[in-house]
Amino acid sequence: MTSAVSFKQVSRHFGSVRAVDAVDLDIAPGEFFAMLGPSGSGKTTCLRLIAGFEQPTAGSISIFGERAEGVPPYRRNVNTVFQDYALFPHLNVLDNVAYGLMVKGVGKAERHKAAEEALSLVRLPGYGARRPGQLSGGQRQRVALARALVNQPKVLLLDEPLGALDLKLRENMQEELKSLQKALGITFVFVTHDQGEALSMADRVAVFNDGRIMQIGTPEDIYQRPKTRFVADFVGSSNVLPPDFVQRYSGQHRWGSLRPESIRVGRATSGEGVAARLVSTNYLGATTRLALDADGLKLHAVVPAGTALPVEGEAVVLTFNREHLHLMDEPA
């Protein structure tokens, strides 16, 4: 099967900066794919390489089997929802949405009809006559989405699509984007620095760091079985355990990771386990996050709210199931 987007050893260097460095990537048609990473990790450059705003320094990119190098953005069947939405302030909402059809020479009546349909799709029917300046952030986001979807792209690129929205709106949009993607069957590629967003929305996630992909996998893979210390730490703030510590429990001299929610915290008198001291507690609503110090090793545990807790500074004993201790590929 042809990949929707395929990167073969793609690099994009800006002078001495390796924004994207020898990246291999295959995105399947109809997939909801997330590129996750801290800022400056190369995820946005990858998106811009697919859109055509950047050209690779080395390697080859193909979109549905067609070579993409040297093809300008306006000849790619790929559309982008920009981080700042980039709506055209001098056009009303309907003309904004119809813009792509207008430059392709579609007649006025036909393109306005298609634009109206796209606006209904993003649940903004009847907003066509307004100016972008008269819309709220969430509405602008929907207009940007409609403006991209009206062109029936093969791949839709979303650059931090929910970054500028408040929490409640963000949660709504997450669900909506997901159901929209299912209904349309278009390949979505979205860039985010929010691991929660990536895990909850994507079929597969690529974790970026320093211009390279650290790991690609399903959200569960990435979360439960991180391959490197970076992934363990960045995705869901796992406890990264040094090889010496891990050897005591698994017999193998390798780096390990342990989810904060896998750690049970007991009174110092309750028998065997890792001796530690409770440094601080952080009330998070549904859970409480504990900062612990096990003989110099800093650990975090998350316990459900309502659990009886030791006081700060008290000695505690930590226990966990051996199968929750994940061994990473990264060499010790």
Partner 1 sequence: MRSDRGQSAPLGLKIAAACGLLFLHLPILLIFVYAFTTEEKSFVWPPPGLTTQWFAVTWNRPDVWEALSLSVRVAAISTAIALVLGTLCAAAVSRTKFFGRETISLLVILPIALPGIITGIALRSAFALADIPFSFWTIVLGHATFCVVVVYNNAVARFRRTSGSMIEASMDLGADGFQTFRHIVLPNIATALLAGGMLAFALSFDEVIVTTFTAGQQQTVPIWMLEELIRPRQRPVTNVVAMVVVLVTLLPILFAYYLTRDGDQIAGSGK
Residues contributing to the site for partner 1 (CB under 8 A): 51-53, 72-74, 78-80, 82-84, 86-90, 99-100, 102-104, 147-148, 151
Sheet bearing 239-241, strands edge to edge = 239-241, 256-258, 326-327
Q: How far is the CB of 161 from partner 1 (least distance, A)?
A: 14
> What separation in angstroms does the CA of 127 have from each of 88, 118, 210?
15, 11, 42
Q: How far is the CB of 70 from partner 1 (least distance, A)?
A: 15
Q: Which residue in 163, 193, 188, 159 sits closest to 41, CA to CA?
A: 193
> Whose Cβ is closer to partner 1: residue 156's or residue 241's?
156
> Whose Cβ is closer to partner 1: residue 132's or residue 256's?
132
> Whose Cβ is closer to partner 1: residue 75's or residue 267's?
75
End-to-end CA distance of the chain: 38
> Whose Cβ is closer to partner 1: residue 22's or residue 91's?
91
Q: How far is the CB of 123 from partner 1 (least distance, A)?
A: 21
> Whose Cβ is closer to partner 1: residue 151's or residue 288's?
151
Give the DSSP H/E element, type plus range, for residue 22.
strand 17-27
Structure tokens at 274: 């890792």
> Whose Cβ is closer to partner 1: residue 105's or residue 296's?
105
Would you give the DSSP letter of residue 328? Answer: P
Q: How far is the CB of 168 from partner 1 (least distance, A)?
A: 26
Q: Strand pairing partners for 33? A: 189, 204
CB atoms within 10 A of CB 87: 20
Q: Using an 8 Å Cβ cutoff, are 156 and 81 in contact?
A: yes
Q: Residue 75: is it exposed, middle or buried by C-beta count within 10 angstroms (0-12/13-18/19+)?
A: exposed
Q: What angle do CA 287, 288, 290 make, to 5 degrees?
A: 145
Q: How far is the CB of 90 from partner 1 (least distance, A)?
A: 5
> Whose Cβ is closer to partner 1: residue 52's or residue 226's?
52
Q: How far is the CB of 15 from partner 1 (least distance, A)?
A: 11
Q: Using an 8 Å Cβ cutoff, are 227 and 289 in contact?
A: no
Pairing of strands 326-327, 315-319: unpaired
Q: How far is the CB of 75 from partner 1 (least distance, A)?
A: 8
